[in-house]
Structure 1
Amino acid sequence: MIQNILWLTLDSSPDDIAAMVADNEGLPRYFRVDTSLAANPDQDLMKLALKNRTAKDLLVQLTNLGFSLYYNAADESRFIRHDRIIHHWPAVKDGTFKVSDDGIVHQFELPESGRIDQLVVILSPINSKPRLIRYFRPSFATLMKYIPRNTAILRIADVGGVKGAFYLDTRFMPDNSSKIRRLIQSTVNEQSIDADNVVLFGASKGGTGALYHGLTGGWKFVAVDPIISDSWYEQYENDYHFTADGVFLRSKQEIFAELIGQVAAEPRGDSLNSVIVTSSRSPQYPITSEIIYPLRNDLSVLDSGNPNILKHPDVAPSTIYAQVMAINTLLLGFGFPLGESAIP
């Protein structure tokens, strides 16, 4: 009989997990990891994994089997199997969040008028809470107040990976990006929205998704300091996003260099009419500038010199005015100067 819960400790190895699954004749619904042996046993396995190689190996193995950290208590981290998430997540169960036919968790906000002529798609930034909500961190919760009437909002969760799949494909979910793109397209089709009236928006990890799906789906986008390379976080932040050990099929820099090269080579009469909001004060700036270089004449890049920007997470809160301006400019069908422009 298959057990619904299997236990691990920090003495366990990835091979132990494989053996336990084999003995169990299948994957359990839950894994629980006893962290009492850790120096800080009350920390969740994500935090422990940043300093403990054994914890990281366990975390990566569980992630690649399709398990997500959903709860942490004293001496214990709990993981849930991917197909069980929608049955466990309270906001899905009570109808606050919806689930597409492909299993993509999302939320749809109607404008007050009830009429839909335009759509903003919001993709979530990073969150490190040991709860499922880290996959759906609220981003610009009040945006509806600042966009044109008759504009709906589609918010898409980023379930997968350790701290999210960056709206890309992972080893466990090799078709994740296609499912997300289908959700956007099906929403556009169902609401009879013209493709030119769709704007994708996101900051940081959400910016990664906005840039990727904007380029692959042909939609306009506003990407705020998108993370399009793993190298900086792997080198300077101890692999904070857990990208270095096989969770993802390809590195972001490989994905975006190839994609941007393909888009740049396509014959096109008009610009992409899309915006990247960034700052030369962000460590992501030189990386982003290099990778998007082939599209430098087709995009609008707004570079904030705000002295309050000292690191990547400072860019989004310091440039909200520019983000609202960019979203509304694109929704209204206006354009930006191409190339890079300095903003406060």
Structure 2
Amino acid sequence: MLVIFSSMADDLNKSSLNRYFEPNFKSVHKFVPDDTLVLRIADIGGVVGGFYLPTSFDPSAATKVSNLINSIIDRYGIERKRVVLYGASKGGTGSLYHAMMAGLSCVSVDPVVDDSFYEQTYNDSHWTAGRLFPHKKEDAFRELVSLYQERERASFESIGVVCSPRSPLFKSVIGFTENIPEESARIFVSDNPKIDSHPGVSRETLRTVTGLINCYLLGLRTEPGKTYF
């Protein structure tokens, strides 16, 4: 099963519910095994979504997402080692958080794990400041990784993170990954010169990301540690 978490909508001012449900990777069925169940999850909460995390309006939002994923796994009798959570940017936040929380594997592309860049550089373009969220992302992920370090983990759990020093989020992303237990962390660092921004990471690493998704869907695991490409 492949679980896809949406990134920010291509137009943040959409008036429809699609603002919370950007259909990333529309052609994914062409690139994964035929029997792959694909689950797409909308991100309701906040002005442009709640990043699949608890919000002041709905403190149980993250639990609801986890319960949905687990209910589909149970309904179809899917092996947990063949479940992959995928997303980029805001979707990367969701896939990373819920993989670590639920004991699953993920391919998370340049996730937003710290609010400061968008609040300070882009005048809070993601509307994360104020009282919409009970915790800052850096605090929520700090608590999450602490729980992840303490609990017993299955051997198949692979926390795959794709990032690039050419993204302004690189420092926060790579800093977070250093706290993931070594046996679980799979960090893929791209220095592709075509990457010129945060969105460019997802665009220019798609072939690598697709390969990783398929490996994890098939129950195969890459070596832990950092891989540069």
Q: Could you state the TM-score of these two structures normalised by the residue count of structure 1?
A: 0.63
Correspondence for 2:4: 122
Correspondence for 1:330: 216
Pick aligned residue for 2:35 from 146, 150, 154: 150
- Is the radius of gyration larger for structure 1 or structure 2? 1
Does 2:145 align with 1:260?
yes
Q: How much has 1:129 moved relative to structure 2?
A: 3.0
Q: Which amino acid aligns with 1:322?
A: T
1:340 is paired with a residue of what secondary structure? strand
Show CA shifts across 1:55-97 (max 9, x none).
xxxxxxxxxxxxxxxxxxxxxxxxxxxxxxxxxxxxxxxxxxx
Q: How much has 1:262 moved relative to structure 2?
A: 1.9
Structure 2: 5+ residue runs without aligned partners? Answer: none
2:55 is paired with a residue of what secondary structure? coil
Correspondence for 2:201: 315
Q: How much has 1:269 moved relative to structure 2?
A: 7.0
**1:220–1:268 CA distance, 2 compared to 1 (3 A):** closer
Is the Cα–Cα contact under 8 Å of residues 5 and 87 in structure 2 kept in the other structure?
yes
Show CA shifts across 1:105-154 (max 9, x none).
xxxxxxxxxxxxxx100000012132221100011000011001211100
Correspondence for 1:230: 115
Q: Which amino acid aligns with 2:61?
A: N
1:229 is paired with a residue of what secondary structure? coil
Distance 1:294 1:276 in 2: 13
Q: How much has 1:274 moved relative to structure 2?
A: 2.9
Correspondence for 1:107: none
Q: Which amino acid aligns with 1:172?
A: F
Is the Cα–Cα contact under 8 Å of residues 296 and 339 in structure 1 kept in the other structure?
no
Show CA shifts across 1:165-223 (max 9, x none).
00011111111111111111111111111111111110100000000110011111110
Correspondence for 1:136: 21
* RMSD (CA atoms): 1.3
Is the Cα–Cα contact under 8 Å of residues 84 and 104 in structure 2 kept in the other structure?
yes
Is the Cα–Cα contact under 8 Å of residues 168 and 177 in structure 1 kept in the other structure?
yes
Show CA shifts across 1:35-61 (max 9, x none).
xxxxxxxxxxxxxxxxxxxxxxxxxxx
Counterparts in 2 of 1:27-176, with a 5 A limit?
119-127=1-9, 128-131=12-15, 132-176=17-61
Distance 2:153 2:55 in 1: 31
Q: Which amino acid aligns with 2:14?
A: P
Distance 2:21 2:75 in 1: 23
Correspondence for 1:239: 124
Does 2:178 align with 1:302?
no
Q: Which amino acid aligns with 1:233?
A: Y
Structure 1: 5+ residue runs without aligned partners? Answer: 1-118
Q: How much has 1:266 moved relative to structure 2?
A: 3.0
Pick aligned residue for 1:278 from 130, 141, 163: 163
Q: What is the percent sequence identity of the aligned residues? A: 38
Distance 2:13 2:153 in 1: 43
Correspondence for 1:341: 227
Correspondence for 1:178: 63
Q: How much has 1:289 moved relative to structure 2?
A: 1.3
| Matched residue count | 225
**1:172–1:134 CA distance, 2 compared to 1 (3 A):** same
More strand by share: 1
Is the Cα–Cα contact under 8 Å of residues 122 and 206 in structure 1 kept in the other structure?
yes
**1:169–1:143 CA distance, 2 compared to 1 (3 A):** same
Q: How much has 1:268 moved relative to structure 2?
A: 4.3
Distance 2:86 2:63 in 1: 18
Distance 1:313 1:167 in 2: 19
Correspondence for 2:102: 217
Distance 1:270 1:197 in 2: 13
Is the Cα–Cα contact under 8 Å of residues 4 and 85 in structure 2 kept in the other structure?
yes
Q: Which has the higher contact order (CA 8 A, sep 6+)?
A: 2
1:295 is paired with a residue of what secondary structure? coil
Q: Which amino acid aligns with 1:336?
A: T
Runs of 4+ in 1 over 4 A off after TM superposition: none
Does 2:83 align with 1:201?
no
